[in-house]
Amino acid sequence: MPEIASSDVEEIVEEFELATKATTPISVGGLEEGSRTFRVSKKDLPEEVFIVDTDAGREIACHPHIVGGTLEALCLKAAGDSVKAMRELSGLRRGAVDTAAVVHILRAGPGYRLLEPIHEQEPKLSLAEIVIRPRYVKPSFRDHESVRRLEVLHSDFTQIPRDSEIAIVVPDTLATGRTVVVSLEKTLDQVDRAGSSVRRLIVYGFISAQGIKVVADFAASRGIPASFFCIGDVTGLAYNGYDMPLYGLDESEWSKRSQLRKLGAIVDESTLTKYLPEYVPGLDQPGDWSSRQTNVFTGVSWEPGGISEHLKHNRDVIQTLRALSKDQPWFKPWHEEIIREELEAIERVLVDLSAEEDL
pLDDT in the model for residue 135: 81
Buried b vs exposed e over 165-193: b needs ≥16 C-beta within 10 Å? ebbbbbbbbbbbbbbbbbbbebbbebbee
Residue-by-residue pLDDT tens, the chain, 359 positions: 888 999 999 999 999 999 999 999 999 999 999 999 999 999 999 999 999 999 999 999 999 999 999 999 999 999 999 999 999 999 999 999 999 999 999 889 999 999 999 999 999 999 999 999 988 776 555 554 554 578 888 899 999 999 999 999 999 999 999 999 999 999 999 999 999 999 999 999 999 999 999 999 999 999 999 999 999 999 999 999 999 999 999 999 999 999 999 999 999 999 999 999 999 999 999 999 999 999 999 888 899 999 999 999 999 999 999 999 999 999 999 999 999 999 999 999 999 998 887 65
- Residue 46's CB is within 10 A of a number of other CB atoms, namely 18
What is the pTM (predicted TM-score) of this model?
0.95
pLDDT in the model for residue 146: 52
| Residue from 14, 23, 13, 67 nearest 234 by CA | 23
CA gap 219, 58 in Å, rounded? 29
pLDDT in the model for residue 49: 98
CA gap 236, 155 in Å, rounded? 30
CA gap 233, 38 in Å, rounded? 9
Count of all residues that appear for the chain in the document: 359
pLDDT in the model for residue 148: 55
pLDDT in the model for residue 359: 58
Could you give the 3-state DSSP secondary structure of residue 199?
A: strand
At how many degrees (to 10) do helices 209-221 and 178-193 cross? 20
pLDDT in the model for residue 67: 98
CA gap 288, 342 in Å, rounded? 17
CA distances from 89 to 50, 84, 93, 201 (A): 9, 9, 10, 12
Write the CB contacts of 5 (distance below 8 Å, at least 6 apart in sequence): none
pLDDT in the model for residue 299: 86
pLDDT in the model for residue 356: 81
